[in-house]
Amino acid sequence: MFGYIVRRSVMTIPVMGVVALIVFALLHFAPGDPAAIMAGDSASPAQLAEIRARLGLDQPLHIQFFYWLGQLGQGHFGTSLHSHKPVAEMISSRIGPTLSLAVTTMTFSLLVAIPMGVYAAWARGRLSDRLVMMMAVLGFSTPVFVTGYALIYLFSLNAGWFPVQGFTPLATDPVRFLQTATLPTLTLSAVYVALIARITRSSVLEILGEDFIRTARAKGVPEARVVLRHALRNAAVPIVTVAGSGAAFLISGVVVTESVFNIPGLGRLMVESVLARDYPLIQSLMLLLSLIYILINLGIDVLYMVFDPRIRA
């Protein structure tokens, strides 16, 4: 297993190189000029040329790209064009709220979605099964920002139970952290719960039709043990796959959710950097999110070997 992890980790390097090239190309060929944004509408051509020269934007694209790669190789992510702060410092100051939101969302989603899916599979065809699937379809179909604003209207503006926006770190005030993190977590979890619940139902339902399940029931094994120990355990591989792949929804949803709830995390930082055409910051954020996604998929492959003995062999 260790050799497999090492090989997959080494393969990450060329993948990240391709991602860096694509991100760089998309940013530099997209409309918008950072120099024009920084200088304002009344800037003269001479002022724009001076700003581009100072930022290195007057150099050929291939020189800019290899210079950026060289900086990354030295562990330097560059300096923000807008705030003139080190990019690594800006990311480190914003990563805490995003990680907290991601952890609470994934934990809540798994605790809710897997029991929902298992129960729906066990109650196949009944009213409760249809209700669970209807809720899953509704959660999967509703845009994140619509869910967020609906929760704000119901539980913040009307009920007054939670703050409309803002974020308090867990270490600062645990109670306030729960208050500020509840609505963003529920907003992000809507899609995630729907996705995992549907796949869990489908996977468990397929396993419940296998011969060894019928044999276990014929031997008098309690139904709860049949469903939870035999069916759910054998359905774990597709559930793990979707749970990990669902991180893509989580990453994209963080950008919208942090903007809706005014949370100072990486998602909101991404929006700010895009609006300012802050190339070094956008490129570093995209690489970081891509690396996180690659590491999640590596973790999924490792879990495959844990749940499926054939893969370990």
Do residues 78 and 87 lie in contact, with contact meaning Cβ atoms separated by under 8 Å? yes
Q: Is the pLDDT of residue 22 over 60?
A: yes
Residues forming CATH 1.10.3720.10 domain(s) in the chain: 90-312
pLDDT value, residue 90: 86
DSSP category for residue 156? I
As to burial, measured by CB atoms within 10 angstroms (0-12 exposed, 13-18 middle, 19+ buried), residue 201 is buried
Rounded average pLDDT over 189-216:
81
What is the Cα 308 distance to its own chain's centre? 26
307 falls in which pLDDT band (50, 70, 90)? low
* pLDDT above 60: residue 311: no
pLDDT of residue 273 exceeding 60:
yes
Q: How confident is the model at residue 42, as a pLDDT? A: 67
Contacts of 135 (CB under 8 A, 6+ apart): 116, 194
Whether the pLDDT of residue 309 is over 60: the answer is no
Q: What is the mean pLDDT of residues 253-270?
A: 82
**Distance between CA atoms of residues 228 and 220, nearest Å:** 15
Answer whether residue 17 shows pLDDT above 60: yes
Give 86's strand partners.
79
Q: What is the pTM of this model?
A: 0.75
Region 13-19 average pLDDT: 79
Q: pLDDT band for position 1 (50/70/90)?
A: low
Range name among 28-32, 207-211, 279-283 with the lowest pLDDT average: 28-32
Average the pLDDT over 22-48 and give the result: 70
**Mean pLDDT value across residues 134-160:** 84
Q: What is the mean pLDDT of the chain?
A: 78
Q: Output the pLDDT for position 32.
A: 65
Which class is domain 90-312?
Answer: mainly alpha
Phi, psi (deg, nearest 5) at residue 86: -60, 135
Q: pLDDT of 40-88, one tens digit each?
A: 666 677 767 777 777 677 777 778 788 777 777 777 777 787 777 888 8
Q: In this predicted structure, what is the pLDDT of residue 109?
A: 86
Q: Which of 279, 257, 276, 277 is nearest to 266 (CA)?
A: 257
Cα dist. 97→103, 149, 270 in Å? 10, 20, 14
pLDDT > 90 fraction of the chain, expressed in percent and rounded? 0
For range 22-29, the mean pLDDT: 78
Q: What is the largest CA-CA distance in the chain?
A: 86
**pLDDT band at residue 308 using 50, 70 and 90 as cut-offs:** low
Please say if the pLDDT value at position 313 is more than 60: no
Say if residue 246's pLDDT is above 80.
no
Query: Over 70: is that where the pLDDT of 287 sits?
Result: yes
103-130 as b/e: b if 16+ CB within 10 A: ebbbebbbeebbebbbbbbbeeeeeebe
